[in-house]
Structure 1
């Protein structure tokens, strides 16, 4: 089951700390970068968790479970087509995938995943000191969390309700 509470609490904490640290020249940047990394990690872990839960509750053959879990573990990233769509189709099949995708706003999900995948990759491969890189404030990321949460909740619900 996806944990929505901890990430929301983390983003709220980072946002309130960010707002209280505006006089510091570096801390708001670090808090923004942390919010980006935390949110991105949560997206990736949430999608993995949905698929692990599906495998554990729907698939009986241990070698198939092991094979697909290995595919999920090898899936680094959360770009919509390269990662999420691919691993969903491997795990639940094309027919089920089509039914799940019919229940969500695919365009919003794709836009948010690809946006955050690119931002996360840039943030993860640069260091902050002395750069002019800018990051969205934690409040922006918190708002995007509130947009993506119902989509991930719907995916989780639809995947778990598959026969």
Structure 2
């Protein structure tokens, strides 16, 4: 799982260019060019995995439940690879949701960006070379790897697509959060308005009752005074 939180190409390009220069200056050596090429391959594939992690971790940041957030983070940690079908899309469906992933498809499919990304990440030769480089040490000069400058070109092609996907996902999740916050605020305002109305109605009812009681009391007093006055007249 990556500790980097921004999809950047500067560092990886710097590393690859340095390795490419070392590779070019070691043509007289049998072993060094192979080792530089091998390291360039591992660096490039590591950058792919980190970039995918960054996208998925950004999605998990929006999760409110700590339990679900922990499950999402653990799911990302368990994935070791960068293939389009088995890693990138499967993680996207698990974290972003299949409906949102479908919307992302509609957004990017027309420009052919997902086709490009799929062809790059599903490259069988790249995956095999990476697995061999990552799990073996150099002992056979017949095994070679692509020159570092190949991966420089690949980073340039893929970086823009990954950043566009990252920004799209961030925009969708921000919009959903804003909508939920607005609905929550409207619901709270509606509840406060209802409580205020109920309080006002209660107060009006109480005032009406007090007024009625006061009127009844006054009528009763007037009636009593009238009887008393009548009795006085009869007495006289």
Alignment TM class, shorter chain as reference: over 0.9
Normalised TM-score (structure 2): 0.65
- Determine the C-alpha separation between the residues in 1 that align with 2:122 and 2:34: 22
Root-mean-square deviation (CA), in Å?
A: 1.4
The structure 2 residue matched to 1:118, chosen from 118, 122, 128, is: 128
Name the SS of the counterpart of 1:3 in structure 2: coil
Name the SS of the counterpart of 1:162 in structure 2: helix
Counterpart position of 1:96: 100
Q: Deviations over 1:68-98 (max 9, x none)?
A: 1110011111111111110011010112212
- Determine the C-alpha separation between the residues in 1 that align with 2:104 and 2:25: 41
Q: Deviations over 1:13-61 (max 9, x none)?
A: 11111111111111111011101001101110111111112221x2211
Q: Deviations over 1:103-152 (max 9, x none)?
A: 26222212211223232112222322224112110001111111111111
- Determine the C-alpha separation between the residues in 2 that align with 1:109 and 1:119: 18
Counterpart position of 1:158: 168
For structure 2, list consecutive stretches of 5 or more residues without a partner in the other structure.
Answer: 1-5, 174-236
Q: Which has the larger radius of gyration?
A: 2
Normalised TM-score (structure 1): 0.92
| Higher RCO (C-alpha under 8 Å, 6+ residues apart) | 1
Higher share in helix = 2
Asked if the contact 2:9–2:155 (Cα under 8 Å) also holds between the matched residues in 1, the reply is no
Range that drifts further, 105-114 or 60-69 = 105-114
- Determine the C-alpha separation between the residues in 1 that align with 2:132 and 2:116: 21
Counterpart position of 2:76: 72
After the TM superposition, which segments of 4 or more aligned residues of structure 1 sit over 6 Å from their partners? none
